């Protein structure tokens, strides 16, 4: 019964927070649309990201209010909220987004995700993602893939105007046991990495990035759903962030695509280390598995 109360409290705060703050974005987004000059756009982008940061603050409030699990976080010291970051993380649940926002909000610039194109039609929140210049991708082959690459390049080019963190869930989808088996992944805790989004970011913003933020998320009591998070059943959360330099061999010359083979080799190496890190973290948290 208490879980039901927590769920409705979280739902009320989330819904009110989203409706009020997204509504406040509308006039700013319209100004940006009608007056696309660089100075106006930069001021509007800062205002929109300020509203989004407040939205994330309030989400962190209800997340902590209804959940009593322990947060074990390291590697977030010394990050620059005025820098540009390329961020990559493993992906297990929609809760990952809440976790990343709670951990990094106001520590680094706002995380901008590569998002499925269909999500632009989600009421209210789809408008917010559009106003904040989230890259919308179709994630299909052929002509759609080429359109995705162009859309991603254009979105990343806009990120040069104000400090931004480009976020990529490199696996391309949430990891489940079924997907892991079907994919025959060589990693114990991860799906195979895909580097298209990282390649686009390196192509358009490579020389601007302050660094690469390699993030690992572990849920020792098991991967929670969004409903679990709202009902207070999220459990403990472990987050490890590693600020790494971007190797020179994955940075393309101006106007050229990122060297895919070099990027893939770099990410594969990172993914192997991440897989081992997840295993060590699970072993050190009372042997509980996800």
Please provide the average confidence, as pLDDT, over all residues in the chain.
Answer: 90
* pLDDT for 288: 43
Distance of CA 190 to the CA centre of its chain: 17
The DSSP result for 44-69, as a single string, is: HHHHHHHHHHHHHHHHHHHHHHH---
Query: pLDDT band for position 144 (50/70/90)?
Result: low
The whole-number average pLDDT for the span 198-227 is 93
What does the block give as tokens for 133? Answer: 């210049």
More confident residue, 137 or 175: 175
Backbone phi and psi for residue 71, each to the nearest 5 degrees, phi listed first: -105, 120
Segment 241-265, tens digit of pLDDT: 999 999 999 998 877 888 999 999 9
Q: Is 253 exposed, middle or buried (0-12, 13-18, 19+ CB in 10 A)?
A: exposed
Residue 123 above 90 pLDDT? Answer: no
Start-to-end C-alpha separation, the chain? 26
β pairing state of 115-116 and 111-113: unpaired
Contacts made by residues 187-191, CB under 8 angstroms, sequence distance 24+: 187/271, 187/272, 187/275, 188/275, 188/278, 188/279, 189/90, 189/275, 189/278, 189/279, 189/282, 189/290, 190/90, 190/271, 190/274, 190/275, 190/278
The whole-number average pLDDT for the span 100-107 is 97
| pTM given for the model | 0.90
The whole-number average pLDDT for the span 61-90 is 96
């Amino acid at each position: 019964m208490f879980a039901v109360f927590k769920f409705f409290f979280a739902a009320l705060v989330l819904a009110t927070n989203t409706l009020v703050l997204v509504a406040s974005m509308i006039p700013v987004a319209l100004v940006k649309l009608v007056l696309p000059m660089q100075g106006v756009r930069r001021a509007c982008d800062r205002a929109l990201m300020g509203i989004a940061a407040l939205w994330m603050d309030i989400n962190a409030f209800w997340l902590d209010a209804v959940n009593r699990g322990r947060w074990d976080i390291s590697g977030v010291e010394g990050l620059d909220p005025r820098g540009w970051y390329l961020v990559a993380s493993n992906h297990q649940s929609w809760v990952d987004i809440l976790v990343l926002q709670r951990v990094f909000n106001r520590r680094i610039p706002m995380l901008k995700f590569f998002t499925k194109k269909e999500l632009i039609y989600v009421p209210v929140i789809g408008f917010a993602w559009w106003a904040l210049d989230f890259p919308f991708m179709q994630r299909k082959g052929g002509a759609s893939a080429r359109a995705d690459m162009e859309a991603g390049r254009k979105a990343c080019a806009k990120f040069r105007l104000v400090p931004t963190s480009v976020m990529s869930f490199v696996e391309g989808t949430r990891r489940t046991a079924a997907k892991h088996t079907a994919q025959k992944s060589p990693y114990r805790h991860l799906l195979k990495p895909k580097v298209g989004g990282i390649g686009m970011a390196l192509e358009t913003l490579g020389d601007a990035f302050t660094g690469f933020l390699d993030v690992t998320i572990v849920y020792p009591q098991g991967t929670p759903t969004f409903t679990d998070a709202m009902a207070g059943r999220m459990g403990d959360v472990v987050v490890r962030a590693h600020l790494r330099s971007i190797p020179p061999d994955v940075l393309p010359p101006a106007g050229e695509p990122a060297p895919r083979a070099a990027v893939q080799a770099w990410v594969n190496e990172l993914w192997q280390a991440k897989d081992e890190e997840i295993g060590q973290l699970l072993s050190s948290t009372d042997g509980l598995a996800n």
